[in-house]
């Protein structure tokens, strides 16, 4: 059995793992600083598509964990990278907020407002989702467009035990009326996100430890990619009895602070 500190790279989920809402998980800054000081690579992975990677880097830096945009990967970039490779220059009807649209445009996608012009429907977390957008997605798909999406999460936990609808719920509505399953979710637990992370880090999957608070996304993601996995009990993990998960993490930690190298 490998130890927690046998890995060259450490991939961290953000909410519930590094911070909880506005506040740092106690000891997260010390743990990450100790790994970096020892030459380990660190990267942050988020499924949440409604904020830019730059804003996550700013928040981490503000909380005492120096980070740049390049240290952060999210489901939006994973999807844009996938589309750039699989459907270069495609015309996309996007049910998404500005950060996702920006990534699609940067990846060479052409955004269309007319559903019958679309080669692909991109679904994401969109707080302006409407009957009209659902109808447009249906018409585009019936006309032959593919359906792809940023992240499978159906609801996102906010401060104070409040949940709000996320991308997975919007995709479920599109799937229900089009009777077509989504082709691709790019975020965790997809290997698309892992491929991007490994390419950036330049290390083998087996040399990475994925650290997160959700069994069904973070731990499954790490296992799908062939990484080591550590579940922290500071976020959703504390509510998820391990026995109910489809897979078991290699390590279970009270918090990220246990990763501190001394």
Q: Distance (Å, rounded) from C-alpha 41 to C-alpha 39?
A: 6
Decide: is 166 part of the binding site for Mg ion (CB under 5 A).
no
Closest CA to 42 of 21, 16, 20, 73: 73
User: Active site residue: 6, 15, 213, 250, which one?
Assistant: 15
Beta bridge partners of 15: 19
Task: Based on the residue annotation, tell me whether 15 is a catalytic residue of this protein.
Answer: yes
Task: Based on the residue annotation, tell me whether 207 is a catalytic residue of this protein.
Answer: no
Comparing every residue's Cβ against Mg ion, the nearest one is 16
Decide: is 153 part of the binding site for Mg ion (CB under 5 A).
no
Decide: is 13 part of the binding site for Mg ion (CB under 5 A).
yes
Judged by CB under 5 A, the chain residues 185 through 214 that form the site for Mg ion are 213
Q: Distance (Å, rounded) from C-alpha 47 to C-alpha 150?
A: 8
Decide: is 16 part of the binding site for Mg ion (CB under 5 A).
yes
Are the C-beta atoms of residues 50 and 18 closer than 8 Å to each other? no
Q: Which residues of 85-124 are buried (b: 16+ CB within 10 A; e: fewer)?
A: eebeebbbbbbbbebbbebbeebebeebeebeebbbbbbb
Contact with Mg ion (CB under 5 A) among 11, 12, 15, 167 = 15
Between residues 103 and 213, which has the closer beta carbon with respect to Mg ion? 213
| Closest distance of CB 236 from Mg ion, Å | 6
Select the span of 6-14, 131-139, 148-156, 201-209 touching Mg ion (CB under 5 A): 6-14
Which residues are part of the catalytic machinery? 13, 15
């Amino acid at each position: 059995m490998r130890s927690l500190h046998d890995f060259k790279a450490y991939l961290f989920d953000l909410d519930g793992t590094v911070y909880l809402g506005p506040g740092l998980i106690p000891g997260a800054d010390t743990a990450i600083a100790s790994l970096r000081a020892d030459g380990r690579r660190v990267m942050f992975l988020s499924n949440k598509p409604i904020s830019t990677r730059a804003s996550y880097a700013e928040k981490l830096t503000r909380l005492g964990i120096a980070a740049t945009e390049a240290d952060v990967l999210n489901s939006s970039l994973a999807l844009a990278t996938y589309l750039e490779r699989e459907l270069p220059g495609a015309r996309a009807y996007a049910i998404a907020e500005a950060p996702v649209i920006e990534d699609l445009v940067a990846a060479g996608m052409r955004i269309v407002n007319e559903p019958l012009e679309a080669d692909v429907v991109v679904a994401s977390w969109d707080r302006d989702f409407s009957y009209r957008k659902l109808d447009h997605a249906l018409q585009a798909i019936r006309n032959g467009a593919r359906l792809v999406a940023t992240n499978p999460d159906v609801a996102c936990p906010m401060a104070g035990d409040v949940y709000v609808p996320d991308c997975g719920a919007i995709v479920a509505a599109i799937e229900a009326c089009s009777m077509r399953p989504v082709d691709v979710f790019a975020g965790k637990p997809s290997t698309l996100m892992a491929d991007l992370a490994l390419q950036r880090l330049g290390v083998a999957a087996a040399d990475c430890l994925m650290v997160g608070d959700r069994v069904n996304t973070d731990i499954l993601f790490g296992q799908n990619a062939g990484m080591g996995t550590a579940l922290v009990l500071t976020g959703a993990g504390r509510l998820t009895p391990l026995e109910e998960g489809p897979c078991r993490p290699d390590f279970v930690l009270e918090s990220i602070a246990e990763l501190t190298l001394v």
